[in-house]
Amino acid sequence: MNDLSQVQDLVIYAWWFALGFSLLMYIVLDGADLGAGVFSLFVRDYRERGAIMAAMAGTWDANETWLVVAGGIMFGTFPMVYGSALHYLMLPLLIVLLSIMMRAVALEFRHVSGQTQWLWDGLFGVGSLTTLFFAGMAMGAVLKGYPLDGGQVPTYPGGLLRFISPFSVWTGVGAVIAASLAGGLFIRARFQRTEVIRVHAAAWINHAFHLALVAVFVTVVWSLSIFDWAADKWLGPYFWVWLIPGAATVFATFRMRRATRRGHDLAAILWLNAAIAIMWLAMMFTLFPWIVPHTWTVYAAASPSTSLFTFMLTMGSFLPVMLAYNWYQYWVFRARVNKLTGYGE
């Protein structure tokens, strides 16, 4: 019986990690697309705006699929969190969904827009901005937790606007800043080296980099001051353990900055993604065993064992398929573009 319990715990941990991994893949992959969309709001040349869309036209849909994968994993393995969190975050997630749809429609309507091309370019950029901001707000709101009623199936009893707080607004701003940095690196990596937009992207990256450093510092200090689950681990008896991911993040950030200055565009993206991955994993292990702080633990929120094992048999192979699909798309569409490669021209 104890062996079975240990296996059940391992399955819960595996799906908890798979959920975090899926969200990380969405943040890393689609974050660059969204950041490039924000960058496009400040691009005057309509051909360059079209080229930005063309640079992501072959991969953006697969990037966003990771968000669907994360939702499917949560629905199948942590249904209590799925039901209550989506009720709590109904408004910001609705705005995120509509914004993603706006981006997709803008991408396709640009083909036939004619004289209204500027409108779809603007909607594409605005959709990218609102997706980032409200997704960031949702993340901050989850970290603060939410109340549950005392029913047999616990549900969120609060109001529609409870997710709004100074911290969640800040995490929304931080998401825009972080994605803007990733978007600038994406532009540098996707455009031919002779393109003028790369010069503008370099200046954008420089500003976004310094803002990102400030954002990370403020978020860490703020988290220490308001979250007991963070302070207990980061300042507890094993505080030295948390210095390791901190040092690794600093190292990856330094390498990203050096690669950017040397024009090693792909290396810069990979080092930034490494820094994001380290911080994300550190946050997951800081939260553990909570999946939503002071609301749901991974044990209380998990589906029954039979459901977990069945879900693993039916969906366990989907993650490697998604990884292979992403790799294939990026390989096929790896060529750099120029401003004459306008989307819908």
Pairwise CA distance, residues 285 & 287, whole Å: 5
Q: Cis link prior to 147 (omega < 30° from 0)?
A: no
Pairwise CA distance, residues 331 & 323, whole Å: 12
pLDDT at 194: 87
pLDDT band at 118 (very low <50, low <70, confident <90, very high): confident
Mean pLDDT for 295-306 is 86
pLDDT at 322: 87
DSSP-assigned letters across all residues of 71-93: HHHHHHH-HHHHHHHHHHTHHHH
Burial 293-309 (b: 16+ CB within 10 A, else e): bebbbbeebbbeeeebe
Round the average pLDDT of the chain to a whole number and report it.
Answer: 89
**Which parts of the chain are beta strand (E)?**
290-292, 296-297
Pairwise CA distance, residues 28 & 22, whole Å: 10
pLDDT band at 170 (very low <50, low <70, confident <90, very high): very high
Pairwise CA distance, residues 39 & 49, whole Å: 9
How is the chain split into domains, by residue range? 11-225+296-332
- H helices of 78-196, in order, are 79-88, 90-109, 117-144, 166-190
Q: Give yes or no for residue 243 having a pLDDT over 90.
A: yes
Mean pLDDT for 205-228 is 95
Q: Which of 78, 85, 5, 69 is nearest to 308 (CA)?
A: 78
Q: Which range, of 61-70, 80-89, 227-236, 310-319, averages the lowest pLDDT?
A: 310-319
In a 13 Å sphere around the CA of 144, the CA atoms on its Cβ side amount to 21
Mean pLDDT for 207-222 is 95
Higher pLDDT pick, 318 / 27: 27
- Residue 236 structure tokens: 């507890």
Pairwise CA distance, residues 283 & 227, whole Å: 12
Q: Which range, of 27-31, 72-76, 146-150, 304-308, averages the lowest pLDDT?
A: 304-308
pLDDT at 271: 96
pLDDT at 10: 85
Q: Which of 69, 70, 85, 136 is nearest to 301 (CA)?
A: 85
Q: Name, in order, each residue with C-beta under 8 angstroms of 31's C-beta and a sequence gap of 6 or more.
A: 132, 178, 179, 182, 183, 276
